[in-house]
């Protein structure tokens, strides 16, 4: 299907204070990274629009914060139903603006955030908004206006994990979606409106990070900034936000390890390699928790290389493997495939793959014998490139796993007790032991330079609450 035969998605209006109105900023074209053609066009927010959105969120806050929990839960249940009813529409939009193949678009990009919404409703109904401590009542109160700034890799999910827990808590939101993938956010605004969210609780202001994102980060009436994206921009946001001492939640990059222990059976080893390749290549390698370093016992390296090469061969570009988001990202990822990026001993164990003529594809690549201190082992690639590192012992494997400025995701494979023990020693916000599944209610966030704060479910609600102690 070429975009020549598909109608443009046109979004000429912004959603501010419960109304759709033309934006004062320039129009922006949205490219489909599969066809390299324009697939949508949006209006962007002017600084006046941003001011109006913050004012609307501030005005809506007291009443929304005072809404009984049961009412907010009822709203979120209606919203969940709307999302489920429009799941195919969302998947189609994500497929067009982000390039994920239709099945990935539906399962990863749409069904996962829907599961997060439902888990957040459960968490809201149980949430300890008040507790007793001696002569104190401990109250958790929503922080006020939350500015959400989101990246392009998961255009719906990255928005939902910020916005839905904030709205559940009783906070109000101004969203700036990524300029490369703003279309899903417009459909999300329509879903909030259809679920009868009161005016001003959710506001949409697309625009560039340097203008709209920066203004939100500086704004005195924004009480918290919740950002997902690159570590350099995260540092800038933290520094800017410090001027008003507003609260900051950061979900940044990762270089997540998948550790195979010396006691792993051959079956566990085979599963570990298969799951790690799949996880690393998911979404074209563009996930923040990508298991991009496979750490294995040195004496099983040859076996692992063979298994990894076979697994990688199944990721056919244009079929199972989607493209990168842009020409710029492709160039960045290709820089990691140059000789020397993985150190002097590094060897590429995948064979050359043909790429479609159009689209920002990169060959799925597995590099073995990677030097632990090389650029390839240390930096986030954000593309379908897996590094294999050899460990002399399980202690060595833990040291290699923790040899990173990042600490977002991780995996351990081996006998259950030993694997749980190693999971406790990894400096990372999430660890999956022997293939443990994604939990849509579990806290999500990073150690070290992968960020601060936690999203999703109970912890996501707590993240946008102040804590007050009332003595009597
Ligand atoms: P990015 O530059 O960090 O952008 C993320 C969001 O922040 C976008 O909405 C962006 O707006 C906005 N932004 C940029 N500069 C800003 C500023 N000074 N103040 C406020 N907001 C600002 O990320 P990217 O360019 O999309 O991706 C670059 C790299 O980030 C990737 O290669 C990858 O390593 C990493 N990344 C990580 C994640 C993750 O989930 N951890 C997700 C995506 C990317 P624009 O619309 O102007 O871009
Ligand atoms: Mg950028």
For residue 394, how far is its CA from the centre of ligand 2 (angstroms)?
38
Put simply, whether the predicted model's pTM sits higher than 0.85 gets the answer yes
Looking at ligand 1, which atom is closest to the CA of residue 332? 32
One digit per residue, pLDDT tens: the chain, 472 residues? 454 568 999 999 999 999 999 999 999 999 999 999 999 999 999 999 999 999 999 999 999 999 999 999 999 999 999 999 999 999 999 999 999 999 999 999 999 999 999 999 999 999 999 999 999 999 999 999 999 999 999 999 999 999 999 999 999 999 999 999 999 999 999 999 999 999 999 999 999 999 999 999 999 999 999 999 999 999 999 999 999 999 999 999 999 999 999 999 999 999 999 999 999 999 999 999 999 999 999 999 999 999 999 999 999 999 999 999 999 999 999 999 998 999 999 999 998 899 999 999 999 999 999 999 999 999 999 999 999 999 999 999 999 999 999 999 999 999 999 999 999 999 999 999 999 999 999 999 999 999 999 999 999 999 999 999 999 9
Distance in Å, CA 228 to ligand 1 centroid: 7
Kindly state if the Cβ of 206 falls inside 6 Å of ligand 1. no
Those residues with Cβ within 8 angstroms of residue 20's Cβ, 6 or more apart along the chain or in another chain: 13, 14
**Location of each CATH 3.40.605.10 domain in the chain:** 9-252+450-471
Ligand number nearest CA of 30 is 1
DSSP-derived 3-state class of residue 391: strand
Domain with CATH 3.40.309.10 in the chain: 257-439
CA of 397 to the centre of ligand 2 (A): 33
Count of C-beta atoms within a 10 Å radius of residue 371 = 18
Ligand 1 contact via 217 beta carbon (within 6 Å): yes
Q: What fold does the segment set 257-439 form as a domain?
A: Aldehyde Dehydrogenase; Chain A, domain 2 (3.40.309)
Q: Which fold has domain 9-252+450-471?
A: Aldehyde Dehydrogenase; Chain A, domain 1 (3.40.605)
Closest Cα to atom 42 of ligand 1:
229
Q: Is the CB of 336 under 6 A from ligand 1?
A: no
The residue whose CA has the least distance to atom 18 of ligand 1 is: 210
Q: Let me know: does 396 contact 302? Beta carbons within 8 Å.
A: no
d(CA 370, CA 391): 11
Ligand nearest to the CA of 208: 1
Cα 67 from Cα 39, distance rounded (Å): 40
Q: How many helices (H) and strands (E) does the chain have?
A: 16, 21
Instruction: Give the bridge partners for 260, in sequence order.
Output: 413
């Amino acid at each position: 299907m070429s975009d020549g035969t598909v109608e443009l998605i046109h979004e000429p209006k912004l959603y501010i204070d419960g109304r759709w109105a033309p934006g004062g900023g320039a129009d922006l074209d949205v490219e489909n990274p599969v066809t390299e053609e324009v697939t949508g066009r949006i209006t962007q927010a002017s600084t006046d629009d941003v001011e109006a959105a913050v004012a609307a969120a501030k005005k809506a806050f007291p009443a929304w914060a005072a809404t009984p929990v049961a009412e907010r839960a009822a709203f979120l249940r209606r919203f969940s139903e709307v999302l489920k009813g429009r799941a195919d529409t969302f998947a189609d939009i994500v497929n067009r603006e982000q390039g994920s193949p239709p099945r990935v678009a539906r399962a990863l990009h749409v069904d996962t955030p829907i599961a997060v919404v439902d888990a957040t409703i459960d968490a809201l109904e149980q949430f300890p908004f008040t507790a007793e401590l001696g002569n104190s009542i401990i109250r958790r109160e929503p922080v006020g206006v939350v500015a959400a700034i989101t990246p392009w890799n998961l255009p719906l999910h990255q928005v939902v994990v910020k916005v839905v827990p904030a709205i559940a808590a009783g906070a109000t939101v101004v969203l700036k979606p990524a300029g490369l993938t703003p279309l899903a956010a417009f459909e999300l605004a329509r879903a909030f409106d259809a679920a009868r969210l009161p005016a001003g609780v959710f506001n949409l202001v697309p625009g560039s990070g340097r203008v709209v994102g920066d203004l939100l980060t500086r704004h005195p009436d924004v009480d918290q900034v919740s950002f997902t994206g690159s570590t350099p921009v995260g540092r800038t946001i933290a520094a800017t936000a410090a001027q008003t001492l507003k609260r900051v939640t950061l979900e940044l990059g990762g270089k997540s390890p998948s550790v195979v222990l010396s006691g792993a059976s051959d079956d566990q080893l085979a599963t570990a390699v298969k799951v790690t390749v799949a996880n690393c290549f998911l979404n074209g390698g563009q996930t923040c928790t990508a298991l991009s370093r496979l750490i294995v016992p040195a004496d099983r390296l040859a076996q692992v290389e063979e298994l990894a090469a076979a697994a990688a061969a199944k990721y056919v570009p244009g079929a199972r493997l989607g493209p990168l988001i842009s020409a710029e990202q492709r160039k960045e990822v290709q820089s990691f495939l140059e000789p020397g990026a993985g150190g002097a001993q590094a060897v590429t164990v995948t064979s050359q793959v043909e790429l479609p003529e159009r689209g920002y594809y990169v060959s799925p690549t597995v590099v073995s014998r990677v030097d632990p201190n090389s650029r390839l082992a240390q930096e986030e690639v954000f593309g379908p490139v897996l590094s294999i590192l050899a460990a002399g012992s399980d202690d060595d494997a833990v040291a290699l796993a923790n040899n990173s400025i990042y600490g977002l995701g991780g995996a351990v494979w081996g006998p259950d007790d030993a694997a749980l023990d190693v999971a406790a020693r990894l400096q990372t916000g999430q660890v999956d032991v022997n293939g443990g599944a994604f939990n849509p209610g579990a806290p999500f966030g990073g150690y070290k330079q992968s960020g601060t704060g936690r999203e999703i479910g109970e912890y996501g609600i707590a993240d946008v609450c102040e804590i007050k102690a009332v003595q009597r």
